[in-house]
Amino acid sequence: MRASFRAFPRPHAMTVLAFVGALSSTACHPNPAADLRIPPEVVVVRDAFDVRPEHKTDGSTTVAYRVHEAFPADTVLQSIRAALPATKWDAVPMDWMNPDVPSSHQRGWTSWTDGTKTPPTWVHQWSAQWRDKQGNIVYYELRYDSVLTPDKRPDDLLKRPDNDVLRVTGAWVPREAADRLMSWGASQSRQPRTEPAPDCIPSTSLKVQPRKVAGRQPDLTDLRGVQTHAGVLVFEITVLPSGRVGNVRLVTEIDPTQPWPAIAERWRSAIAEWRYDPGIVNNKPAAACITVTVNVHVQ
């Protein structure tokens, strides 16, 4: 197992208000997909393609697929909410891995740069969870990717993506696995900070962007040989005017089974110790938002 990383400055995550309007007559409908043994709460919409179910040893079921659906995906979200009635499922207001951060139930769509791709993409993301009375969790991540090129900057894509290809990941997670992941998230939110993290400035306003000058990668040698899969971790960090890191937040959902919680925790701890030449605005150091992407490879 090995990992590589990239750091990309990013503007503030923005809440994109849902457009109000009549639903299309071609609204998405749940596909039972009985032959795939997908729980009914994990909705596979009509016309979905590249459907990839995965049943894990901890009892979790994850399904990923793509569908052509115009932003902000109102019809897909309507189908998801219909499968999770409020009489049985409570919308979780705060993100389960970042309990001090509102989920998309409250803040709607957010956006950030994904540097794991070449060229990088500008992501519009909706991510939230539901919990039933037994403590089981259902989570969804909806995502559009818009390719960034020299003639297309994040400012051009802040309001909406440039395509209608929606990537959907849904999962049903049993209580035991969900509790482990939420306990890990709560422990990270309690990590002390050496300095307070002020509001960061959008990268487009920075005359000089932060540059990493020191920092280590975490020691994962004890995880060599562990059977797992490749994946990506995306962290949002605040680089303070002092050059220290004032905040580290995991923004991607991770596999709740080990070793992924351990991998994410070790990377978060390592990133928190990194040092930067700070970003500059108006000829003064300023707090800046950066996205750090970590590619975890399995050999």
Residues 6+ apart with CB under 8 A from 98: 185, 188, 189, 249, 250, 251
Tens of pLDDT along the chain (299 residues)? 555 555 544 433 322 222 222 222 233 444 444 445 789 999 999 999 999 998 888 888 999 999 999 999 999 999 999 999 999 999 999 887 777 778 899 989 988 777 666 787 888 899 999 999 999 999 999 999 998 887 776 667 778 999 999 999 999 999 998 888 777 666 665 555 444 455 677 555 677 888 889 988 998 888 877 777 778 888 888 889 899 998 888 887 777 777 888 888 899 889 999 999 988 888 888 888 888 888 887 66
Domains present along the chain, CATH in parentheses: 13-175 (no CATH), 185-297 (3.30.2420.10)
What is the chain written as a DSSP string?
Answer: -EEEEEEEE-PPP-PBPPPP-PPPTT---EE--GGGT--TTS-EETT-EEEEEEE-TTS-EEEEEEEE--TT-HHHHHHHHHTS-TTTEEEESB-SSSTTSB-HHHH-BEEEEETTSSS-EEEEEEEEEEEETT--EEEEEEEEEEE-BTTB-GGGGSSS-SS-EEEEEEEEE-HHHHHHHHHHHHHHHT---SS--PPPBPGGG-SB--EEEE------GGGTT-----EEEEEEEEE-TTSBEEEEEE-S---SSTTHHHHHHHHHHHHHT-EEEPEEETTEEE-EEEEEEEEEE--
Residue 209 CA to residue 278 CA, distance in Å, equals 7
